[in-house]
Structure 1
Amino acid sequence: MKEFERKQLLERVNREAATVGADIPDAIDVQGEEIDLRDFVFEIKRRDTIPSGERERVERAKKNLRRERLQRLQRIEDGEISYEKGEELAESIVGIDRALNALEQLRPVDLEQEADVQEAADRKRWMKFLKQALGREDAGGSGRRL
């Protein structure tokens, strides 16, 4: 590969808007393991949040994708491949970036906040029940004193 071709490919993968209109690859070989990347991303993306049981799986996938992206980028930077292979790698890097963007947009479920909201609602219901049971709340909602 010629130097200007290598620079052109590197500029393409590092461009800010490189993922606009890019497709997530159907499958990708990551660390010697074939992953159905598109199915995985769409399965996770179908939910708006990452359930706690899936959080570790998603984080591991993102870590592996970042590592794979870096390895492919280094192969282009080394320039010891053909231009055609470089184009193939650049296209796959953009696809990996697209998948990473989709996974990064997901929000983890904040279990602690969810538990606090639930506890506050439970406490409110309990206090209302106690007031009614002890006769401290009349039909109009104002409490009467004993």
Structure 2
Amino acid sequence: MKEFERKQLLERVNREGATVGAQIPERIDIQGEEIDLQQFVFEIKRRDTIPPGEHERVDQAKRNLRRERLERLQRIEDNEVSYEKGEELVEAIVGIDRALNALEQLRPVDLEQEAKLQNAADQKRWMNFLKKALGRGDGPSKRGGR
């Protein structure tokens, strides 16, 4: 591959907004293992948060995707491939970036915050129960008139 072609491919990978409109690859070979990447990302993303049992699995997937992205990019940088193969690698890299973006946007379930919210809701229900039980509930005010 010619030097200007290599630079052109690298520019496409590093271009801001390169992932806009890009598709997450349906299947991808990572470290010799075929992965249903699109299905995995959509399955996890559908939940909007990372459940505690899936946290390690998602972290491992992100590490593997980053490693695979770097290896593919290195092949272009080292000029080890033809221009046609380089174009294929660019498409795969942009797809990997798209998958990583989707996985990075997920937020882990914050168990401590969830416990605090649950505790506050329990206290509020308890206080409402006590007010009703003591006759200070939702009825009209017992204060004097105007």
Please give the range of the TM-score, normalised by the shorter of the 2 chains.
0.7 to 0.9
| d(CA) in 2 for partners of 1:71, 1:126 | 58
User: Over the residues paired in the alignment, what is the CA RMSD in angstroms?
Assistant: 2.0
Matching residue of 2:83: 83
Shift, 1:27, TM fit:
0.5
Matching residue of 1:45: 45
Shift, 1:129, TM fit:
3.7
Task: Name the amino acid aligned to 1:84.
Answer: E
Task: Name the amino acid aligned to 2:53.
Answer: G
Say which SS state the counterpart of residue 65 (structure 1) adopts.
helix
How many pairs are equivalent? 143
Matching residue of 1:57: 57
Say which SS state the counterpart of residue 34 (structure 2) adopts.
strand
What TM-score, normalized to structure 1?
0.87
| d(CA) in 2 for partners of 1:100, 1:27 | 15
Runs of 4+ with >6 A deviation: none
Say which SS state the counterpart of residue 19 (structure 2) adopts.
coil
Matching residue of 1:104: 104
Percent of aligned pairs sharing the same letter: 79
Matching residue of 2:18: 18
What TM-score, normalized to structure 2?
0.87
Task: Name the amino acid aligned to 1:46.
Answer: R
Matching residue of 1:140: 139
| CA distances 1:49-104 after superposition (whole Å, capped 9, x unpaired) | 11111111111111110111001100100002111111111110011001111111
